[in-house]
């Protein structure tokens, strides 16, 4: 079974109700015309990476990447009242209504994915 998982990837990536990856676009200049992109299979992995890189939420565009479309994520779901990125378990609670049926108290549908990001 492990061989099949490695060959075909995480099962949750085949669930069309979930994004298969996430993208953060960080502007290089004030006009927002050019940006760096960071990608991760999980939103929690992406936000943790942005935090480690010292990238604050201000001006960052976050996208859910589905097979047919890219959808912006409302940043208010992912940011604390003090303007910092949310982390587990607060992030999980914030996203429970955004991904109904996929996030539970002790687990989520994204747990089969690798949370390590890619990007510059």
**pLDDT, tens digit, for every residue of 59-103?**
999 999 988 899 999 888 899 999 999 987 888 778 777 776 656
15-42 tens-digit pLDDT: 666 787 889 999 998 776 899 999 998 8
Rounded Cα–Cα distance for residues 48 and 41 (Å) = 12
Overall size of the chain counted in residues: 120
DSSP letter for each residue of 71-107: EE--GGGTB-TTS-B--TTHHHHHHTTTSTTTB-SS-
The values of phi and psi at residue 15, to 5°, are -85, 110
Would you give the DSSP letter of residue 25? E
Could you list the residue range(s) of the whole structural domain that residue 89 is in?
2-95
pLDDT category of residue 106 using cuts at 50, 70 and 90: low
Q: Which two tokens stand for residue 41?
A: 């299979």
User: Looking at the 3D structure of the chain, how many domains does it have?
Assistant: 1
pTM for this predicted structure: 0.76
């Amino acid at each position: 079974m492990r061989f099949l998982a490695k060959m075909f990837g995480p099962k949750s990536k085949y669930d069309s109700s979930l994004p298969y990856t996430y993208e953060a676009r960080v502007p290089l200049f004030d006009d927002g015309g050019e940006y760096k992109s960071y990608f991760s299979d999980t939103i929690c992995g992406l936000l943790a990476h942005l935090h480690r890189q010292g990238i604050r939420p201000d001006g960052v565009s976050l996208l859910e990447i589905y097979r047919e479309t890219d959808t912006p994520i409302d940043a208010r779901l992912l940011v604390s009242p003090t303007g910092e990125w949310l982390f587990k378990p607060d992030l999980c609670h914030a996203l429970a209504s955004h991904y109904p049926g996929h996030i539970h108290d002790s687990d989520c549908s994204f747990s089969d994915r690798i949370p390590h990001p890619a990007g510059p």
